[in-house]
Structure 1
Amino acid sequence: MTPADTAEAAGAASAWVLALLALSLAGYALGVARLWRRAGARRGLGLGQVLAFAAGWSLLAAALLSPLDAWAEQLFCAHMLQHELLMLAAAPLLVLGRPLAAWAWALPQGRSRALGAFFRTPGWQVGWQAITRPLGAWALHALALWGWHLPALFDAALHNEAVHALQHTSFLGTALLFWWSVLRPQARRRTTAGPALLSLFTTLLHTGALGALLTLAPQALYMDPRATALPWGLDPLADQQLGGLLMWVPGSIVYLGCALWLGARLLSPAQRPRGPRPAPLARPRPGAP
């Protein structure tokens, strides 16, 4: 593929990303407006949830549409920072924002009810439970993380825009499932904190191990002989080591912080849930377990 072909493919991918981000934001805003008009302001979806979605959406846009995306084609550490923004910052905030509920309200009522009926079918429920329970979500996320960091697959993503898009999609998609399994059940019942804590702890261990492997490797595992990091003052090994540290340290802090929060909930006396209660309305909540 020539540089011109690569630039054209990257431009087309950016246009698709921009369109999907705009559609998701417009759908969320429309759904929240309709819900609050029907149920009252801040009912069904609280202000904190809306702000969480806005923050997650902004971080997603920053990771995929800012200069960081161009830098990630030259620097392994920038590529790693991009992935960490997707998986450790944008994904949990988007989950806390409950976008499925908002998007359901954005649909016409007939289509919303038909979609809700589909999501209540046994076949969908079995599949959804399989990928959103802690074990299933943990396994999918771990497979995506380790699989895409195999040198052959990682380098393929750097040289093929379609593979690159698949890599980002799998990172974000499995991260959303992982954080759903950890965070969403906690909004309803405290007894699910145990499996979530185990999921967080083991993810901290295996992602930390991957980060340590990249940091302590005696030679560069990625990038081609063109050494695209050299103009930035980094040789390929130093670039990889910096990327490994970005996965190792900030990632561990995020997982540990969330685990401490869940642990505090598990040990604290039972309390009545606070915040706005979801309005008992007819619109479906797609994918709700």
Structure 2
Amino acid sequence: MGIELAPLQLLPMLVFGFLYWQRNRVVNTPGWRQWCFYGGLVLMALTLSSPLASLSEELFWAHMLEHLLIADLGALLIVLGLTGPVLAPLLRAIPWLRIFGHPVVALVAWTANFYVWHLPVLYQGAVANDTVHALQHMLFVSFGIAMWMALLGPLPKPAWFGNGWKIGYIVAIRLIQSVLANALFWSSGVLYPQYARGQAEWGITAANDQSAAGAIMMIEGSIVTILLFGWLFLKAARESEERQELAELAAREGVEMTPERIARAVSAGRGDALRERIQFQASEERSAQ
């Protein structure tokens, strides 16, 4: 078991990394976002070229871990690295991608892709064929990005998708994953016989291999969910404070500003722009007097 190179999977990462770097020569993406984006690419590249990649062809739990690293954590980091200005050229070229900013569309598409690829015929086909394996990984990552984009990305979201719905979205993701995770953890039948040879070489039964894969999925999902809940709590507290500050500023400057407009601006991350608008409008009114 050694280093494995997967050019069909690594080449797209190099291309997207180069395009991201080129775009950031024009736009000013915050440094922490760039670290997230490049960190996601590095995590994926290391996962796909590490001994884990070789082991994933022999043991199911290793394959599951590989998928979680690239399609859940890696995709999450990629989305955190994206901003509206970075995505602008892509959205102009392919405008229908905006639809994945809608949480229902993103969640349904991610769920369908997730379960279709876990059908034994396709999952085992990916293990047996490098091209199918590359396609599987690309679709896992693509729909993983779409799933996180609806929650954390810069694409416009429905007005109703506030913090409460975001909590429900996170819970829905984990419930969808937990159905498969529990089926793997408790199943005594052999779902993926393609791993029989590797399981025999490593001295692990198919049932234990499947249970380990289910446990890994549950543990990773629990950790990510706890972190996201913490993020939402801090975000809600910060937005509440920002709404209050903007309302007080508008009242102090004598600028009429409805709570709904303030809430929309803060939710969209446009609080600073609204603050500047309030100050500009107040200045204009004072100059006119």
TM-score w.r.t. the length of structure 2 is 0.74
- Cα pair 2:83 2:154 within 8 Å, conserved: no
Compute the RMSD of aligned alpha carbons.
Answer: 3.1
Cα–Cα, structure 1 residues 185 and 33, in superposed 2: closer, same or farther, change >3 Å?
closer
- Cα pair 2:29 2:83 within 8 Å, conserved: no
- Cα pair 1:190 1:265 within 8 Å, conserved: no
Q: Which residue of 2 aligns with 1:29?
A: 21
Give SS of 1:45's match.
coil
Give SS of 1:219's match.
coil
Q: Which residue of 1 aligns with 2:185?
A: 215
Q: Spell out, residue by residue over 1:54-79, the C-alpha distance to the aligned partner (whole angstroms, 9 max, x if none).
A: 21111111222222211111010110
Question: Counterpart of 2:13 in structure 1: which amino acid?
Answer: L
* Pick aligned residue for 2:36 from 46, 52, 67: 52
Q: Which residue of 1 aligns with 2:133?
A: 164
Q: Which residue of 2 aligns with 1:145?
A: 114
Residue 66 of structure 1 pairs with residue 50 of structure 2: yes
Q: How far apart are residue 226 of structure 1 and its match?
A: 4.1
Q: How far apart are residue 26 of structure 1 and its match?
A: 2.2
Aligned residue pairs total 244
- Cα pair 1:204 1:256 within 8 Å, conserved: no
Give SS of 2:194's match.
coil
After TM superposition, the structure 1 = structure 2 runs for residues 234-253 of structure 1, keeping only pairs within 5 Å, are: 234-253=204-223
Q: How far apart are residue 146 of structure 1 and its match?
A: 1.4
Cα–Cα, structure 1 residues 53 and 117, in superposed 2: closer, same or farther, change >3 Å?
closer
Cα–Cα, structure 1 residues 87 and 16, in superposed 2: closer, same or farther, change >3 Å?
closer
- Cα pair 1:77 1:239 within 8 Å, conserved: yes
Distance in 2 (CA, whole Å) between partners of 1:18 and 1:128 is: 23
* Pick aligned residue for 1:182 from 121, 145, 151: 151
Tell me whether 200-209 or 74-83 shows the greater mean CA deviation.
200-209
Q: How far apart are residue 193 of structure 1 and its match?
A: 2.5
Q: How far apart are residue 186 of structure 1 and its match?
A: 9.5
Q: Which residue of 2 aligns with 1:203?
A: 173
Bigger-Rg structure (1/2)? 2
Cα–Cα, structure 1 residues 174 and 217, in superposed 2: closer, same or farther, change >3 Å?
same
Q: Which residue of 2 aligns with 1:271?
A: 242
Cα–Cα, structure 1 residues 225 and 130, in superposed 2: closer, same or farther, change >3 Å?
closer
What residue ranges of structure 2 are gaps of 5+ in the alignment? 244-265, 274-289
The percent identity for this pair of structures is: 26
Q: How far apart are residue 29 of structure 1 and its match?
A: 2.1
- Cα pair 1:157 1:164 within 8 Å, conserved: yes
Q: Which residue of 1 aligns with 2:202?
A: 232
Distance in 2 (CA, whole Å) between partners of 1:192 and 1:132 is: 14
What residue ranges of structure 1 are gaps of 5+ in the alignment? 1-9, 36-43, 105-111, 279-289
TM-score w.r.t. the length of structure 1 is 0.74
Q: Spell out, residue by residue over 1:35-66, the C-alpha distance to the aligned partner (whole angstroms, 9 max, x if none).
A: 3xxxxxxxx31011011112111111122222
Distance in 2 (CA, whole Å) between partners of 1:228 and 1:247 is: 20
Question: Counterpart of 1:85 in structure 2: which amino acid?
Answer: L
> Larger relative CO (CA 8 A, sep 6+): 1 or 2?
1
- Cα pair 2:82 2:154 within 8 Å, conserved: no
Distance in 1 (CA, whole Å) between partners of 2:156 and 2:80 is: 9
Q: Which residue of 2 aligns with 1:6?
A: none
Question: Counterpart of 1:86 in structure 2: which amino acid?
Answer: I
Q: Which residue of 1 aligns with 2:63?
A: 79
Distance in 1 (CA, whole Å) between partners of 2:81 and 2:232 is: 18
Q: How far apart are residue 89 of structure 1 and its match?
A: 1.0
Distance in 2 (CA, whole Å) between partners of 1:155 and 1:48 is: 38
* Pick aligned residue for 1:19 from 11, 33, 46: 11
